[in-house]
């Protein structure tokens, strides 16, 4: 047998591993069952970290999405630079307001 029973989880890239938390949990459970609770707990910690990182990425994406949209639409010719400038100016205003608090 050549492996692969876990869909080659060991070779997953960092940018997709968050899609495999149920498999990671199963591996953690397996380790606990096999008498390695310290390692199993580390798998659970890893899953928790992945969830935090996913939430943080979603927060950053929500912040930058309007700017990304404005640039994309401007570069596609759907809007002019004034729309991008407006969105960027609003973002800067929010940044400065947040830093004053």
Exposure b/e, 59-90, CB count within 10 A at least 16 = b: eeeeeeeeeeebbeebeeeebeeeebeebeee
pLDDT at 101 over 80: no
Q: Model-level pTM?
A: 0.75
Long-range contacts of 17-23 (CB under 8 A, 24+ apart): 17/50, 18/50, 18/51, 18/53, 18/54, 21/47, 21/50, 21/51
pLDDT digits (tens, 9 = 90+) for 39-95: 999 999 999 999 999 999 999 999 999 999 999 999 999 999 999 999 999 999 998
55 token code pair: 């939430």
């Amino acid at each position: 047998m050549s492996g692969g029973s876990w869909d080659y989880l060991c070779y997953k890239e960092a940018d997709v591993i968050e899609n495999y938390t149920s498999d990671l949990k199963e591996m953690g459970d397996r380790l606990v069952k096999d008498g390695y609770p310290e390692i199993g707990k580390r798998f659970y910690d890893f899953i928790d970290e992945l969830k935090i990182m996913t939430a943080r990425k979603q927060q950053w994406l929500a912040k930058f999405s309007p700017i990304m949209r404005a640039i994309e639409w401007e570069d596609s010719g759907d809007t002019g630079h004034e729309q991008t400038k407006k969105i960027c100016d609003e973002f800067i205003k929010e940044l400065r307001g947040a830093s004053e608090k």
